Amino acid sequence: MLSGIIFVNRNGLRWRDAPAAYEPHKTLYNRWKRWSEAGVFVRMMEGLSGAQTERRTVVIDATYLKAHRTASSLAVKKGASVG
């Protein structure tokens, strides 16, 4: 169940687009909602951040950007000279 929730959030999917291997999407959403309201994810982040003497916000960012394979090439038309 946790793997499914992480997969959906990591990939920016809608709950209904979760692969069937991760249980029905409605079950994933309901569990995520219940766990969020119960503070499960906050406690997980606190555990991952280690023992702290002061309370603070911890953010783990797994954002990444995809670019098309031609995005790094120059916009040069065929036959044009570069120089």
pLDDT tens digits, one per residue of 47-78: 877 766 566 666 666 666 666 666 666 555 55
**pTM score of the predicted model:** 0.54
d(CA 1, CA 23): 7
pLDDT at position 26 over 60: yes
Q: Do residues 45 and 22 touch, judged by C-beta distance below 8 A?
A: no
